[in-house]
Amino acid sequence: MTVKTIQVSQNVLSANREIAENNRARLNAAGIVALNLMASPGAGKTSLIERTIQGLEGRLRIGMINSDTSSATMDAERAERAGAVTVHLNTVGRCHLDAGMIRDALDCLPLRDIDLLLIENIGNLVCPAVWRLGSHQNVLIASTPEGDDKPYKYPKMYNSVDALVINKTDLLPYVSFDLDYFTRGVEVLNHGLETFPLSCRSGPGLDRWFDWIASLAVREAAMAR
């Protein structure tokens, strides 16, 4: 028997990254723009998805990958009722989606009939920040009742996203959420981050969000041609 040391120097996430790059290539080839929607539980991911599907009806054909840690399919059903082709992923307890799960979900979707793919990640502000999926935009949905200290407590999530939604702005008069303090924390971590304050319930801010998504989809479709 001989014992020896082998140099490896390989990133643990490199396998995931490779699959994510393949996912991105498949999406690009089909002219689909994909958004990875991340948030803590209860921030309003499913509500925003419902409003987005309704708001973009007639403008974009929407597909949806919904995930939960159990077989509870009520969120997927809400998205389906709102008019999106939906795949439900049960992560069986896992706290985040990874690129392999998205690869398998893409196999189940009619990619040619989709312009916009919404991926609803597991409600969690820690792990989803690390596992890239191949989406074009990583979007974080914060909400005012969660508190204004979240950027300071979850810096990895806040500095790794491409856009930020601040949901439930209609509750600002009722909750202790200092928008300046919150925004300062975001600015430190992610300078110039694209931000959408809005309320899914009462409506303000949604039109700008819809227009932003529509412009991304137009750009992606043009690049695929």
**Exposure of 81 in the CB half-sphere (CA atoms within 13 A):** 10
Q: Which stretch binds other proteins (CB under 8 A): 6-14, 50-58, 172-180, 215-223?
A: 6-14
Contacting residue, 81, 156, 208, 219, with other proteins by CB under 8 A: 156
The answer to whether residue 193 forms part of the interface with other proteins (CB under 8 A) is: no
Q: Which is nearer to other proteins, 19 or 53 (CB)?
A: 19
The answer to whether residue 22 forms part of the interface with other proteins (CB under 8 A) is: no
Least CB distance to other proteins at residue 6 (A) = 5
The answer to whether residue 71 forms part of the interface with other proteins (CB under 8 A) is: no
How far is 167 from 40, CA to CA, in rounded Å? 12
How far is 50 from 82, CA to CA, in rounded Å? 6
Least CB distance to other proteins at residue 77 (A) = 25
The answer to whether residue 225 forms part of the interface with other proteins (CB under 8 A) is: no
Cα–Cα distances (Å) from 39 to 66, 126, 173, 214, in that order, read: 13, 10, 22, 22
Least CB distance to other proteins at residue 112 (A) = 31
The answer to whether residue 222 forms part of the interface with other proteins (CB under 8 A) is: no
213, 201, 122, 37: CA torsion to nearest 10: 10
Least CB distance to other proteins at residue 69 (A) = 9
The string of DSSP codes covering 159-191 is HH-SEEEEE-GGGTTTS---HHHHHHHHHHHST
Which residues, in sequence order, are bridge partners of residue 171? none
Residues that bind other proteins (CB under 8 A): 1-13, 15-16, 93-96, 98, 126-127, 130-131, 155-156, 159, 187-189, 191
